[in-house]
Amino acid sequence: MACVFCEYASGESPNSQSIVLKTDELVVFRDIRPASQHHLLACPAQHIPDAKHLTKSDIALVESLVEAGLGAIEKLGGNRLETRVGLHWPPFCLVKHFHVHLIWPESELTWLSRLIFRPNSYWFCTVPSLMEYLNNLPD
């Protein structure tokens, strides 16, 4: 398998112990380079290269990724209100499989992590901004 996130989704990853939640539609797992105490990635089981490959019909998918990720943060002892949620906008994606970052607690982000995961910068987009982008796509 060429995509490391597809390996997580299929259960074939050698790092399967880092999976926090897995369903037929999505997988939530720990980031290998955490920016804070809990840094999770939520990605669809289906391979979607990046956010620019999403359509209006993927809005429910994005919502389910966020909800699953926030639920996993809560199971780990975190809280939704202090969780940074967003995604890297192409071409600033290291792994070419759409995923959402969920980072808790925000207050523990280092200076560099605050820069890398800076909301609504050229490289990191919040979910509300992504939803606005998707809602404005032509039908």
Q: What is the pLDDT of residue 91?
A: 87
Are the C-beta atoms of 117 and 124 separated by less than 8 Å?
Answer: yes
Are the C-beta atoms of 131 and 41 separated by less than 8 Å?
Answer: no
Domain count, the chain: 1
Q: How confident is the model at residue 33 (pLDDT cuts 50, 70, 90)?
A: very high
**CA dihedral sign of residues 122, 20, 135, 137:** positive
Strand partners, 31: none
Q: What is the pLDDT of residue 15?
A: 85
Q: How confident is the model at residue 2 (pLDDT cuts 50, 70, 90)?
A: confident
Are the C-beta atoms of 41 and 97 separated by less than 8 Å?
Answer: no
Q: Which residue has the higher pLDDT, 17 or 104?
A: 104
CA 24, CA 10: separation in Å to the nearest integer? 9
Residue 89 lies in domain: 4-136
Q: Is the pLDDT of residue 30 over 70?
A: yes
Give me the chain's average pLDDT, please: 95
- Structure tokens given for 40: 């999770």
Domain with residue 61: its CATH number is 3.30.428.10
Q: How confident is the model at residue 1 (pLDDT cuts 50, 70, 90)?
A: low
CA 2, CA 59: separation in Å to the nearest integer? 26
Indicate which residues carry an active-site annotation: 99
Q: Is the pLDDT of residue 14 over 90?
A: no
Q: What percent of the chain has pLDDT over 70?
A: 99
**Residues 116-124, mean pLDDT to the nearest whole number:** 95
- With a threshold of 0.85, does the pTM exceed it? yes
Q: Which long-range contacts (CB under 8 A, 24 or more apart) does 70-75 make?
A: 70/102, 71/21, 72/20, 72/21, 72/28, 72/40, 72/42, 72/102, 73/38, 73/40, 73/102, 73/104, 75/20
Encode pLDDT of 90-100 as tens digits.
889 989 999 99
